[in-house]
Structure 1
Amino acid sequence: MPDTSTWDALPHRLPDWFRDAPLGIFIHWGPYSVPAWAEPTAELGAIESDLGWFAHNPYAEWYFNTIRIEGSPAAEHHRQVHGDAPYDDFLDQWETTAFDPAAWADLFRRAGADYVVPTTKHHDGVTLWDAPGTGDRNTVRRGPKRDLVGEIASAVTEAGLRFGVYYSGGLDWHVRPTEPLVSGEDVNDRCRPRDDEYGKYCSAHVRDLIDRYQPDVFWNDIGWPDENFHFGQGGLGELLEHFYTQRPEGLINDRFAGAHQDFVTTEYQAGEIPEGQPWENCRGVGLSFGYNQVEDAAQYMSAAQAVRHVVDAVSKGGRVLLNVGPRADGSLHELQVAALEGLGEFMAEHKVHLAGSRGLGELRLKGVEWARAVEKDGTCHVFLSGDAGEITVAAQDLPTGFAWPEVGRTVTLAGEENAPVAVSAPAADSAPTAG
């Protein structure tokens, strides 16, 4: 990378809106939503080695790659069901007859989200708007015949939410085709395009997204072409400068191969929570980001699990970008909707305690399976989950410096299939007794 001082001069931002946003919504939607198939194996990070991960990839949005791995279950499925049809056939078959962006945005708002980040180009290279240089390989010219990015952006903004864009800068299996990717080394190093020409192609896309849709989050994936790490015309540096100039409250993630970042991302169980840095965990309601017709209740999070996941991240200083994968027609799976609806019921009461809070982390409490704590405006909020019934929580086991009852308190747990219950107490020097 050239002149590091130039990169260091770029802004580093954590705008108030993001600091106070415990929840965002991710959307993975593309031609892969037509076959909608992946082997539901395990969460990313739950398997120590990536050996065999790509042949058994649970991410339906990776269908283009997985079906090219000889012997993979996806390749066999594709052969039997789709007769080895070219991937781009799914773009032409993609119809969005049930797509209601206003209904999506309303659901996301009711779930307690503050921002929404749809995929604008995933690794298959298909853009969900009429991106420059894509010819007819986009959703405006083929398939849906719609500017899906624009429709989502308008609906999200009208619902009072922040809009962001996901863009795959690191991979494009159409513009820069490769052999099937079968390892992490393939993805992040050996097969990743590095040339400046491809970087300028990506830069033109993202600049167009910025100018058309005014996103407040630029969420890149799988790095960026190394030769495009410059501040010349069409370079990544110039692009980031343009983004910050146009979007004063905008911020970017950390997936630029170390060039620049405003916050760190983890994915499912993969990645380390950074010390003293803002961070975000992304994951699907199920095992896949793109819709996977194979998944059912065994893979989908319940509402209670979604609540615990959000509270856990906030208690550790982070936030969650929770993904929905629409069906090809634009409808959302009933279990995805149920998880968001249940999450919304909890957030309607407790988002005020989570937004802008200071994470106090995990607690070990007798008789409680799961406990997390945050502090907001001088009050400690402890969230508890476990087998239904009454328990007595000892004051000495709770965070210090707050006015908990000296002899402990009785709490009625709702059971692990329900959202955690909360107990609160003000700072010890602000009130004589617990709230």
Structure 2
Amino acid sequence: MVMFEQSPERTEQYARFEHPTPPWYAGAGLGIFIHWGPYSVPAWAEPIGALGTVADKRYWFTHNPYAEWYFNTIRIEGSPARAHHEEAFGGAPYDDFLDAWSADAFDAAEFADLFRRAGARYVIPTTKHHDGVTLWDAPGTGDRNTVARGPKRDLVAEIASAVRAAGLRFGVYYSSGLDWHVAPKPPIVDEEHGLGDDAPNDEAYARYLHSQVIDLIDRYEPSVLWGDIGVPTVAEGPSDFSVESILDAFYSRVPDGVVNDRWGATHWDFRTSEYEQGASIEGVGGMWERNRGVGFSFGYNRVEGAETSLTGPEAVRMLVDVVSRGGNLLLNVGPDAHGRISDLQRACLEGLASWMAVNDEAIHGARPAVDVGTASDEPVVRWTRTDDAVYAIVEGEGRIELACDPTLLVPDSAAQLGGGPAFVSAAATGVVVDVASGGGTGPVVVRFEAA
């Protein structure tokens, strides 16, 4: 990945696609991203930090912590990834990794069950990342897909079937703005060279991506159409290969589907931030989604350890904060080449599952409660609500003062989810609650009836 800001403006041509956010998406809270491709074979990147925290973009791309960008990073002269590639693989062609990608341990149903227990309401796998390898037999790819080579399976179909059987929504990620194979360019070394004027912008590539996205829509009817890095500008205007025609096909097949904001200057149903980059769009002008990996990479990175990975409680805190501000969290896992989720990633999801088993009602179908309570960081307190209830999500134990308007909730109704009553008394700025420990799984949730 690596996002660049899209204009919040919709052109008049695309105004007809504007519609209210579907309730299933607005109340989802958590989605799961899956980045899986030939890059899971080398599974190597430098964990230098989260996107948005490294100011020097040339340094960022040369030392890219995104393992899914391996194809790009090994082509940058002087990059440590290039040196690693020469030492570990003798400078082998990138497509050798497609043939070495086995997926022999992959169990889509087991994945879907884990995601469901973690509290996810939708799942979005990469169907084509920037390396151009597709996880289904996409038109125009010949044998450069997972049906013909490597896993020799339609991984998109397997994931879609398992996700839906688990009662979750299925979406697709598609790299619309970059394809290093079918539309080759020199390696990207900064955001001015490769993510802008140097990105593929010809009609041939626009037609190529159009045919593949239409095929995804026709075959899999995804509820989320998630593009990345924009589109050729020739596809933004009227044509038979335009984004407009893609959206027509999408909303006709999936009327309650949603589209993100990386399809060029066209249309979006929700904005996206990525790690710390683009955070300025969060909570401004409609629905939004924060996406990130458990570690600093989306693709599986064997170099990463516990020091760079979210724990379960840390993921819970992030989820709570995002939902309390009106967004969804799209948390990524990157399976290895065999199709296994690493122990660190699995521990994070199991931590979410433990907390959500008790407290999911404060997340699913909830919305910010800024009219009722005031968020705090000392102690950490966040607020959500439904029509019938208000939730104070509290990091701590003992007597904690909550800044709120007590006339908008019923203080005597306070109860700790999964733990009996929470004793409440009046305070100058709201109420004081006496809560028990969350047991190490994350914050405690105190539920009030809404007044």
TM range (shorter): over 0.9
1:228 is aligned to 2:235 = yes
State the alpha-carbon separation in 1 of the partners of residues 214 and 410 from structure 2: 52
Alignment map for 1:254-403 (pairs within 5 Å): 254-271=261-278, 272=280, 273-360=282-369, 363-364=375-376, 368=379, 370-386=380-396, 390-395=397-402, 397-400=403-406, 401-403=408-410
Task: State the match for 1:23 in structure 2.
Answer: 30
Task: State the match for 1:421 in structure 2.
Answer: 444
Alignment map for 1:25-424 (pairs within 5 Å): 25-271=32-278, 272=280, 273-360=282-369, 363-364=375-376, 368=379, 370-386=380-396, 390-395=397-402, 397-400=403-406, 401-404=408-411, 405-407=425-427, 408-414=432-438, 418-424=441-447
- The range that moved more, 165-174 or 65-74, is 65-74
Q: Deviations over 1:69-92 (max 9, x none)?
A: 111111111011011111011011
SS class of match (1:103): helix
State the alpha-carbon separation in 2 of the partners of residues 160 and 410 from structure 1: 37
State the alpha-carbon separation in 2 of the partners of residues 46 and 228 from structure 1: 32
Q: TM-score, normalised by structure 2?
A: 0.89
State the alpha-carbon separation in 1 of the partners of residues 301 and 353 from structure 2: 24
State the alpha-carbon separation in 1 of the partners of residues 194 and 364 from structure 2: 35
The residue identity in structure 2 corresponding to 1:376 is T
Q: Deviations over 1:228-250 (max 9, x none)?
A: 12343222111111111111111
Task: State the match for 1:433 in structure 2.
Answer: none
Aligned-pair distance for 1:365?
6.4
Q: Deviations over 1:241-285 (max 9, x none)?
A: 111111111110000222110000111111121424100011101
Aligned-pair distance for 1:33?
0.3
State the alpha-carbon separation in 1 of the partners of residues 344 and 153 from structure 2: 27
Aligned-pair distance for 1:358?
2.2
Q: Deviations over 1:154-204 (max 9, x none)?
A: 111111111100000000000111111011122321321111221110010
The 8 Å contact of residues 303 and 341 in structure 1, kept in 2 or not, is answered as yes
Structure 1 unaligned residues grouped into runs of 5+: 431-435
SS class of match (1:261): coil
Aligned-pair distance for 1:31?
0.3
- The range that moved more, 168-177 or 190-199, is 190-199
Q: Deviations over 1:32-72 (max 9, x none)?
A: 00000000110111223423100111100000000111111
State the alpha-carbon separation in 1 of the partners of residues 377 and 147 from structure 2: 55
State the alpha-carbon separation in 2 of the partners of residues 243 and 26 from structure 1: 20
Aligned-pair distance for 1:382?
1.3
Structure 1 residues 365 and 322: CA distance shift in structure 2, 3 A: closer
Q: After the TM superposition, which parts of structure 1 deviate over 3 Å for at least 4 consecutive aligned residues?
A: 412-415
The 8 Å contact of residues 365 and 393 in structure 1, kept in 2 or not, is answered as no
- The range that moved more, 185-194 or 55-64, is 185-194
The residue identity in structure 1 corresponding to 2:444 is V
State the alpha-carbon separation in 1 of the partners of residues 20 and 220 from structure 2: 20
The residue identity in structure 1 corresponding to 2:355 is F
The 8 Å contact of residues 230 and 238 in structure 1, kept in 2 or not, is answered as no
State the alpha-carbon separation in 2 of the partners of residues 188 and 337 from structure 1: 33
Q: Deviations over 1:120-158 (max 9, x none)?
A: 000000011100011111111111111111111111111
Structure 1 residues 192 and 365: CA distance shift in structure 2, 3 A: closer
State the alpha-carbon separation in 1 of the partners of residues 56 and 81 from structure 2: 20
SS class of match (1:52): helix
State the alpha-carbon separation in 1 of the partners of residues 248 and 385 from structure 2: 36
State the alpha-carbon separation in 1 of the partners of residues 69 and 367 from structure 2: 37
The 8 Å contact of residues 94 and 328 in structure 1, kept in 2 or not, is answered as yes
Aligned-pair distance for 1:19?
1.3
Aligned-pair distance for 1:425?
2.2
State the alpha-carbon separation in 1 of the partners of residues 263 and 20 from structure 2: 16
Q: Deviations over 1:323-359 (max 9, x none)?
A: 0000011011011111111101211222222222221
The 8 Å contact of residues 13 and 251 in structure 1, kept in 2 or not, is answered as no
State the alpha-carbon separation in 2 of the partners of residues 187 and 270 from structure 1: 18
The 8 Å contact of residues 359 and 374 in structure 1, kept in 2 or not, is answered as yes
Aligned-pair distance for 1:13?
4.4
- CA RMSD, 1 decimal: 1.8
The 8 Å contact of residues 28 and 364 in structure 2, kept in 1 or not, is answered as yes
Aligned-pair distance for 1:412?
3.2
SS class of match (1:323): strand
SS class of match (2:111): helix
SS class of match (1:98): coil
SS class of match (2:256): coil
Q: TM-score, normalised by structure 1?
A: 0.93
The 8 Å contact of residues 118 and 354 in structure 2, kept in 1 or not, is answered as yes
State the alpha-carbon separation in 2 of the partners of residues 358 and 394 from structure 1: 22
